[in-house]
Amino acid sequence: MKVDPLSLQVFANLFSSVAEEMGTVLQRSSYSPNIKMRRDYSCAVFDLDGRMLAQAAHMPVHLGAMPMAMQAVLGRFDLGPGDVAMLNDPFAGGTHLPDVSLVSAAFSPAGARLGYVMCRAHHADIGGMTPGSMPASTSIFQEGLIIPPLLLVERGKTNEALLDLLIRNVRTPEERRGDLRAQLAAQRVGEERLVELADRYGVSACRVHGRALQSYAERTMRLLIRKIPPGKYTWTDWLDGDGQTDDPVRIQVSVRRDSGEDCLEVDFSGSAKQCRGSVNTVLAVTTAATLYVLRCLHTADSPVNAGSLVPLSIIAPPGLVVSARPPAAVAAGNVETSQRIVDVLFGALAQALPERCPAASQGTMNNLALGGFDPQRQSTFAYYETMGGGAGGRPGKSGMSAVHDHMSNTLNTPIEALESAYPLRVTCYRIRRGTGGKGLFRGGDGLQRDLQFLAESDVTILSERRSLHPYGIQGGEPGQCGENILIHQGHRRSLPPKVQLHVSPGDTVSVRTPGGGGFGQLSPGPTPC
């Protein structure tokens, strides 16, 4: 089977279109605003060996961690026709417990296995000690229901006992059931599209081009690595705290390329030990962040798949905040620590490739989880969202304002969707002008989002860059920090970066997100006469 540049590009688009269509089906058929409106999900296609073949343009923190989840599933099950595995265990390739993954295989009419498809979606509640399942926890057991690789569907029949067990442990059962059904629909579409590709182009052509795409991704990654001057580049940044103390948590990376080599060593050994609070993250997320940063530095439209990881050696001894061991709390690690890993990687690589690396973006996802009992609807509710902020200034362009950046690729929930679904009123939603760092290319500005509660609710905020500024680079100034505020009976109270609280009707929580750092030094003005 001959592979040429044209056929390779055709198959790259074909495989990625499968993942894209899976995402469209999931988004349109889901129940929760978090999936339907914010699009907090990701989809990917894998080959016969469970190696990633293609992905949709979804969430980097999901996609880069998926290969470990796939290997955990295949290590336990030989998936047959009609089987669908489910998992969310962060220590088996998951990210944090609300992210639930489904995995299934596609088979030809003759019974030949063609490959695998996976979707991962963030469920607005998966149980645990607080609504939204994003607590300021000290153990993973406080964060929700842990699902190891299990068969949700076996030979086409749903395991209703397993589904009932899951639904019984969440605060919003019908929403969870609906979102899981949407994920199952996405899986079916993914399987059908792989079968159609094999039927149209032949099983052999699909497999040959799949292997060629992985080899191509490896070659392009090696070409990028060769552009990094030989040497060792180190950068250190800090988290505001772990949610239990205000002591900064060190995240450090050393990136090394030896002369004449086209492989890269990325060493996180200088990072802090895993913490008592929930900022710990697992190796799958650290790997995802590393792959994301290097993908950002590509100039060509190179595919991202299993081949992209071959030239990388990621060192993170177990027990660090970036490679936690159970039963560490990890709810905030997936969303907050992943962002700081990106910051330190760009900081290190900016020493080698200053013309390509941006200043720090807001460095947080500004997580807000809430829930309670809605007296108007006579039902419980749970909601989760992240909020945009300022992107860092970059070579040739200022950073964008009020956007989700880096490891988050979701949307801001529209006011109309939020107010129609929950007992909430959005009283302020604006860009925080001037919060981006000054520079030749300014950092983007953060945003302000004020939520007034119309019913008693439990609220959790997990945020960063409230005391430590997003750094500027190449002479640019840092971005402004964010701020969390509670307004109760007209009195304003500043809240910690990570906090759990109970609010009453009429209370307002104001989340004010950071700006991005500036890039490049401003030219001095003319000297006065």
Q: With a cut of 50, say whether residue 348 has pLDDT above it.
A: yes
Q: With a cut of 70, say whether residue 153 has pLDDT above it.
A: yes
Q: How many CB atoms lie within 10 A of CB 522?
A: 14
User: Which three-class secondary structure state does DSSP give residue 491?
Assistant: strand
Q: What is the mean pLDDT of residues 452-481?
A: 97
Amino acid at 203: V
Sign for the CA dihedral angle at 137, 140, 142, 147 comes to positive
State residue 92's pLDDT score: 94
End-to-end CA distance of the chain: give it in Å, rounded.
75
State residue 526's pLDDT score: 57
What pTM value is reported for the model?
0.94
Q: What is the mean pLDDT of residues 470-499?
A: 97
**Tens-digit pLDDT profile for residues 119-128:** 999 999 999 9
Burial class (CB in 10 A: 0-12, 13-18, 19+), 168: exposed
Q: With a cut of 80, say whether residue 288 has pLDDT above it.
A: yes
Q: How far apart are CA 385 and CA 399, in angstroms?
A: 22
Q: How far apart are CA 480 and CA 438, in angstroms?
A: 10
528 or 457: whose pLDDT is higher?
457
Collect all residues with Cβ–Cβ distance below 8 Å to 247 and sequence separation of at least 6: 241
Structure tokens at 4: 């040429």
Q: With a cut of 60, say whether residue 214 has pLDDT above it.
A: yes
Q: With a cut of 70, say whether residue 528 has pLDDT above it.
A: no
CB 303 within 8 A of CB 14: no
State residue 411's pLDDT score: 79
Query: Worst-scoring range by mean pLDDT, 48-52, 92-96, 227-231, 525-529?
Result: 525-529
Nearest by Cα to 369 from 352, 354, 382:
382
Q: How far apart are CA 32 and CA 181, in angstroms?
A: 12
State residue 56's pLDDT score: 79
What is the chain's mean pLDDT, rounded?
Answer: 94
State residue 529's pLDDT score: 42
CB 503 within 8 A of CB 496: no
**Tens-digit pLDDT profile for residues 357-398:** 999 999 999 999 999 999 999 999 999 999 999 999 999 999
For helices 203-226 and 5-29, angle between their N-to-C axes, nearest 10 degrees? 100
State residue 525's pLDDT score: 60
Q: How confident is the model at residue 240 (pLDDT cuts 50, 70, 90)?
A: very high
